[in-house]
Amino acid sequence: MKTNHDIKLGVSLYSYQDNYYFHKHDLEGCLAAAAGSGAEGIEIFPEMMIPEWPYISDAFLDKYYGWMERYGLETVCVDHFADRAMHKNKQLTDDELLERSVWYIKAAKKLGATHIRLLHSAHLGKLLTIPGQKPIDLVNPEITGRLLPYCAEYGIVLALECHAPTSVDDPVQQAYLEVADKLGLSEYIGLQVDFSSYEYCMSTADVGMFSRQGINRECLEYIREKQREAYFAGKDFVFEEIEPELKKMGFTDNDKRAIQHVFSLRQRRPASYEKLKEYASKVVYVHGKFYDIDENGQVDNMDYPKIIKALQEGGYKGYICSEFEGNRRMNDAGWCDEIEYVRKHQELMRKCLGYEK
């Protein structure tokens, strides 16, 4: 029997990638782990855990629905990818990408999901650029407009994931919503929060990984400490201010390049909780991203109580799915117990939501 909370909790099976990759658990095992954490729903990457993808047979669905029944779960979201770079010398055309994207909408329908996480061009804010190459265009507003009639046909909502360094209040997201408004199909699209937007310091998981890659641990801990100081003092973190001190400690330009894609350098402060509250009622799906959990049961680099309060007070209705990303930062040092991390994370979220003391 499911709860009747406005905000329900689920698990993205992405969280169990090592268990699957190393064959400790198959899909059923991952579903059982999610159910064991107290979750009521799941998110699935078809390319990860449906071996016959891009086809889904009735035989697979027989098993799948049996498991969902057995473990008391529902499918919430299917993850869409926009792999344009299929071939070495040519990219998929818009028509081909559209056709491929429809696969995910149909898969979501087959699996009983309500949403697909759309990998749209603005999921990191501005278009991605790689030196010497054209900016990488994924699903742009025009293709999104062409997908919406399929969403209406199959009853699937497109969730526009807003991943750090962007956030739901970034104006760059509006073009996608406007396309839907014009078509009168706005009920089939909405914003998706990813908690990465609310990181206020480098995670201890990153500190561990980068130090094992040869970057001075003291320097990493110094950066993390300064970020925490800035956040708790309500100030911006400005990397350049601590750079001279870091250089004295032996921090090199190579070290800087190695870590610049993590929070440490790309953001000065987490996205606004006020804005999150303002946008919450328009949000259609949420990734409860985390990398590590500290000894107090808190996520070590995001302010979960504040983030969840903003969603709750702003009137968000829907799922928050645990998305554990510590595995890929920790598994170079040995086995990472993803199942236990997710259990702790679900417990933290239940507490933040007031579902348990």
Partner 1 sequence: MYDKHILTDEGCRSIWEHGKKIGYCVNIKINYYRGLPLCCIEEIDLEVDGEKVDPNTMLVQHNGREYRYLDLLTDDFPTDVYWIFGEKLRVVVLKEGGIEQGRHRVKLTLKTRRSYTPTMVSVCEKELTFA
Residues lying near partner 1 in the complex (CB under 8 A) are found at: 14, 17, 20-23, 45, 47-49, 51, 53-55, 81-90, 92, 100, 119, 123-124, 128, 130, 136, 138, 328, 331-332
Residue 255 CB, shortest distance to partner 1, in Å, is: 20
Q: Please, which residues have CB within 8 angstroms of residue 299's CB and are 6 or more apart in sequence?
A: 290, 291, 292, 293, 345, 348
Residue 123 CB, shortest distance to partner 1, in Å, is: 8
> How would you classify residue 132: left for phi > 0, otherwise alpha for psi between -120 and 50, otherwise beta?
left
What phi, psi does 283 have (nearest 5°)? -75, 140
- CA gap 260, 258 in Å, rounded: 6
Residue 20 CB, shortest distance to partner 1, in Å, is: 5
- CA gap 200, 229 in Å, rounded: 10
Please say which residue, 61 or 86, places its beta carbon nearer to partner 1: 86
Please say which residue, 61 or 128, places its beta carbon nearer to partner 1: 128
- CA gap 225, 185 in Å, rounded: 46
Please say which residue, 109 or 120, places its beta carbon nearer to partner 1: 120
Please say which residue, 119 or 157, places its beta carbon nearer to partner 1: 119
> In this structure, are residues 187 and 115 in contact, taking their beta carbons and an 8 Å threshold?
no
Within a 10 A sphere around the Cβ of 26, how many other Cβ atoms? 13
Please say which residue, 9 or 30, places its beta carbon nearer to partner 1: 30
- CA gap 42, 125 in Å, rounded: 26
Residue 111 CB, shortest distance to partner 1, in Å, is: 16
Please say which residue, 17 or 167, places its beta carbon nearer to partner 1: 17
Neighbouring-strand partners of residue 116: 78, 158
List, in sequence order, every beta strand (DSSP E) within the chain.
Answer: 7-12, 41-44, 74-79, 115-118, 157-162, 189-194, 283-290, 318-324
Neighbouring-strand partners of residue 190: 159
Query: Whole-angstrom distance between the N-terminal and C-terminal Cα of the chain?
Result: 21
- CA gap 161, 335 in Å, rounded: 29
Largest Cα–Cα separation, the chain = 63
Residue 72 CB, shortest distance to partner 1, in Å, is: 26
Please say which residue, 8 or 329, places its beta carbon nearer to partner 1: 329
Q: Please, which residues have CB within 8 angstroms of residue 132's CB and are 6 or more apart in sequence?
A: none
Residue 103 CB, shortest distance to partner 1, in Å, is: 9
What phi, psi does 79 have (nearest 5°)? -85, 125
Residue 25 CB, shortest distance to partner 1, in Å, is: 10
Residue 354 CB, shortest distance to partner 1, in Å, is: 33
Please say which residue, 18 or 303, places its beta carbon nearer to partner 1: 18
Residue 131 CB, shortest distance to partner 1, in Å, is: 9
Please say which residue, 182 or 257, places its beta carbon nearer to partner 1: 257
